[in-house]
A and B are shown apart, each in its own frame.
Chain A
Amino acid sequence: MELVFILICGGLAAIASLLVIFARSTLHSALWMVVSFFMVAVIYVLLHAQFLAMLQIIVYAGAIMMFILYAIMMLNLRREQDERVPTRNIKVFGLIALVVLFMELAMVGLRQGIEALQGPVTDQLVAAHGRVAVLSNFLFSDYLLPFEVASILLTAGVVGAVVLAKRTK
Chain B
Amino acid sequence: MIDNQSVYLAISAVLFVIGAAGAICRRNAIVVFMCIEIMLAGVSIAFVTFSRANQSLDGIFMVLFIMAVAAAEAAVGLAIFVLMYRKHGSIDLDKFNLMKW
- Chain A contacts to B: CB under 8 angstroms: 2-3, 6-7, 10, 13-14, 17-18, 20-21, 26, 29-30, 33, 36-37, 40, 43-44, 47-49, 51-52, 55-56, 59-60, 63-64, 67-68, 70-72, 74-75, 77, 80-81, 85, 91, 94-95, 98-99, 101-102, 105-106, 108-110, 114, 116-122, 134-135, 138-139, 143, 146, 150, 153-154, 156-158, 160-162, 164-165
B30 contacts A134, C-beta separation under 8 Å: no
A164 contacts B68, C-beta separation under 8 Å: no
B49 cross-chain contacts in A, Cβ below 8 A: 47
A161 contacts B18, C-beta separation under 8 Å: no
A47 cross-chain contacts in B, Cβ below 8 A: 8, 45, 48-49, 52
Question: Nearest-CB distance from B49 to chain A (Å)?
Answer: 6
| Alpha-carbon distance between A36 and B84 when the two chains are bound, in angstroms | 28
A10 contacts B79, C-beta separation under 8 Å: no
| Alpha-carbon distance between A31 and B95 when the two chains are bound, in angstroms | 26
B53 contacts A116, C-beta separation under 8 Å: yes
A55 contacts B64, C-beta separation under 8 Å: yes
The winner among A2, A40, A56, A99 for most chain B CB atoms within 10 A is A40
B52 contacts A153, C-beta separation under 8 Å: no
Query: How many pairs, one residue from A and one from B, have CB atoms within 8 Å of each other in the complex?
Result: 220
Question: Nearest-CB distance from A93 to chain B (Å)?
Answer: 9
B18 contacts A74, C-beta separation under 8 Å: no
Question: Nearest-CB distance from A137 to chain B (Å)?
Answer: 9
A68 contacts B30, C-beta separation under 8 Å: yes
Count of B residues near A, CB < 8 Å?
A: 71
Question: Nearest-CB distance from B40 to chain A (Å)?
Answer: 9
Question: Nearest-CB distance from B35 to chain A (Å)?
Answer: 7
B71 cross-chain contacts in A, Cβ below 8 A: 59, 63-64, 154, 157
B17 cross-chain contacts in A, Cβ below 8 A: 98-99, 101-102, 105
- Which residue of the partner chain, among A48, A117, A150, contacts B68 with CB atoms under 8 Å? A150
